[in-house]
Structure 1
Amino acid sequence: MKVITGTVLTLSLFAFGSAQAFDITSQDIQEGHPMAKTFEYNQWGCNGGNQSPHLSWKDAPAGTKSFAITAYDPDAPTGSGFWHWIAFNIPASVKELPRGVNIKALGGNEVRIDYGTVGFGGACPPKGDGMHRYQFTIWALPTTKMELDENTQAAVVGFTLNRMALGKATLTATYTR
């Protein structure tokens, strides 16, 4: 039997699909701070205003042709988090969304979220479940149109965004009931 000694195996790791960060701000929500009831859902035992917050961003990477927006609660007691908003095909000329924005009026599209509806669905963590984080992410994309429809599964959209994004910016607010 032949024994090989002194051999060193070197592995190189490459980051494929890693996205460049850029800046996101809001007049309505702040990083790490509780959101107002204005941004709470208005069904499922919640009675908030169900408004999407104001969001603005700058310094998107070169080559950005459109944006997508997601709102996600990684703390939902589902085992897979909870999608509160998925919008895409927002023109690259848009750099700000007012509170309660109509994405279709901007030329964008939205998919069905975990409430079973299309469009923004506010925070509504179970009572007594503690603080939940709500991650609002703007995704810079290299295409003007993603070929998805309102019935595309949220996980498929998330996978697609993570694979193709040129950059992303996330603002995380909290909510407790």
Structure 2
Amino acid sequence: MSHNPYDDIAKVPTFTVTSSDVTDGEEMAPGHRSGIFGAGGEDVSPQLSWNGFPAETKSFAITMYDPSAPTGAGFWHWAVADVPVTTTSVDTGAGNAVGSGLPAGALQLKNDASLAHYLGAAPPAGHGKHNYYIGIHALDVDSLGLDAGATPSFLGFNMAGHTIARAVITPWYEAK
């Protein structure tokens, strides 16, 4: 697997993330690919569970990023800030358009398509295999103080000084 792009935010210890929907190093299932961008999917966020994070964790952020997107800056598919420390899992579909599966207080930001919900994998046909880095970021603050207009890149910038550990699962998808 290639360089973990989240290490550019902060190189930190790891903890464990698992999913009943996606597997690290395996092809992303169709439901988690994009229907909006024509990859034959349903734009359904995967189930995620995490444990083993530091005791001093005060909140989490959840992100999905494709560093290989042909944009010069990658592509943020999903970004959620201010997930309470009492939350250690999200169900399949939690990142829908209203964030109905996210805990109270969590802030779902607009992705790089300007949609405030999960957007599935959708690399251009013939562009090769893209890795989708799904990260759970353990933070040392209850809230990063972002507003709904914040971008995922701004979330990353604000996480830089507050990330104390991170768990990553990386499925892939290639459009032929």
Q: Scaled by the length of structure 2, what TM-score is found? A: 0.86
Instruction: Report whether the alignment pairs 1:113 with 2:111.
Output: yes
Contact preservation (8 Å) 1:20, 1:61: no
- Aligned residue in 2 for 1:39: 32
Separation (CA, whole Å) in 2 of partners of 1:117 and 1:110: 10
Counterpart residue identity of residue 24, structure 1: V
Q: Which has the larger radius of gyration?
A: 1
Which one-letter code corresponds to 2:129 in the other structure? M
Residue 80 of structure 1 aligns with an amino acid whose one-letter code is A
Alignment partners' CA distance in 2, 1:68 and 1:59: 15
CA distance in 2, matches of 1:150, 1:119: 12
Q: Deviations 1:146-167 (Å, cap 9, x if unpaired)?
A: 2112221222111211321111
| Structure 2 residue 75 is the aligned partner of structure 1 residue 78 | no
Deviation track 1:56-87 (CA, whole Å, cap 9, x = no partner) reads 11011121111100000011011110000000
The aligned residue for residue 171 of structure 1 is 169
Query: Matches of 2:11 and 2:135 in 1, distance apart?
Result: 15
* Whole-angstrom CA distance in 2 between matches of 1:150 and 1:71: 18
| Partner SS, residue 157 of structure 1 | helix
Give me the identity figure in percent: 35
1:26 alignment partner, one of 19, 31, 41 = 19
What is the aligned residue count?
162
| Distance in 1 between residues matched to 2:37 and 2:16, nearest whole Å | 33
Question: For structure 2, which runs of at least 5 residues remain unmatched after alignment?
Answer: 1-9
Q: Deviations over 1:120-162 (max 9, x none)?
A: 1111111111110000000111111221122212221112113
Amino acid at match of 1:152: A
1:20 deviates by 2.1
Aligned CA-pair RMSD: 1.6
